[in-house]
Amino acid sequence: MNFWIIQGLNGLAFGSLLFILASGFSLIFGLMRIVNLSHGAYFMLGAYVGLSAIEAGVNFWIAILIGGGAICILGTVIERFILRRLTGQPLAQVLVTLGIAFIIADTCVWIWTGDPRPVPMPHELAGAFRISHLAFPIYRLFVIGVAFVLAAALWFLLERSRLGAMIRAGVDDLTMARAMGIRTSLLFSVVFCLGSALAGAGGVLAGPILSVYPGLDTDMLPLALVVVILGGVGSLLGAFVGSLIIGFIYSYGQALFPDLAYMILFLPMVLVLTLRPTGLFGKQAF
């Protein structure tokens, strides 16, 4: 019994991290049809930036904002000056983001020397939370909380705000949205900034659990892809459910079938694709 509870919590915590990563990816993909293969690199770079901020004496919460902000700026610059030149060529855009991922990854080795670095967690969240003989790290409970709050906030943003209405209009029919006077150019920049910021801030937030090291980008990117394929393109709910499913499979899989753990992460994706190519909650196929 304890096993199922504790591994369930583990899965929830890992799924929460995945959601923070994948929500930004899905947002960008849903509106702009850009498969941003730099997203894992953004996540890693955000963590490094946040780490440097913390080492410079900044408090952890501010460091999350700095990490998110820095990647937002980087993302916006890349969107404005590179991706926009390739509007209407989704494949060229994918390839550019792949090249950028190479550049960011090697730049990180250059600047941060490739040493694996833990991001120190805030003192108030260190240690374990105990009920009878069950113990679970407080920080992970906090991460789970952040993911749920983020999910709610994003839902509110998309479903209830004016910006959200514009984004939804853009996702459904870009030409129509443009015809109705929505400034899609600005909208794209805002969404790309937001998606990038989520990756950057997520990197800092994940830092105390995953630590930062060269290769973090390629470790995380495939997981974000799987979440999005599973959940359905551009669907917030899909990203949320997809993240949790992958989180649970990750944690129970490693405990129950350690040798197959990595492979079975991808099985639900294959299954969903064969039975329902749009993903669980997607409206459209890719």
Site for another protein in 95-114 (CB under 8 A): 95-96, 98-103, 105-107, 109-110, 113-114
Task: Tell me the C-alpha to C-alpha distance, in Å, between residue 231 and each of 228, 242, 250, 282.
Answer: 5, 5, 16, 7
What H or E segment, with its residue span, contains residue 164? Answer: helix 162-172
**For another protein, the closer CB: 125 or 165:** 125
- Show the tokens assigned to 267: 């099985």
Cβ of residue 181: shortest distance to another protein, in angstroms? 28
Q: Is 232 a residue that touches another protein (CB under 8 A)?
A: no
Q: Is 208 a residue that touches another protein (CB under 8 A)?
A: yes
Out of 86, 163, 174, 280, the residue judged to bind another protein by CB under 8 A: 86
Tell me the residue type at 97.
T
Site residues for another protein, window 113-142 (CB under 8 A)? 113-118, 120-121, 126-128, 130, 135-140
Q: Is 63 a residue that touches another protein (CB under 8 A)?
A: no
Site residues for another protein, window 32-51 (CB under 8 A)? 33, 35
Cβ of residue 26: shortest distance to another protein, in angstroms? 12
Binding mask 136-175 for another protein (x = CB under 8 A): xxxxx-----------------------------------
Cα(94)–Cα(96) distance, rounded to whole angstroms? Answer: 5
11, 247 Cβ separation under 8 angstroms: yes
**For another protein, the closer CB: 153 or 267:** 267
Q: Is 176 a residue that touches another protein (CB under 8 A)?
A: no
CA angle (241 as vertex; 240, 246 as ends), nearest 5: 100
- Show the tokens assigned to 180: 């109705």
Can you say whether residue 114 is alpha, beta or left, with left for phi > 0 and alpha for psi between -120 and 50 degrees? left
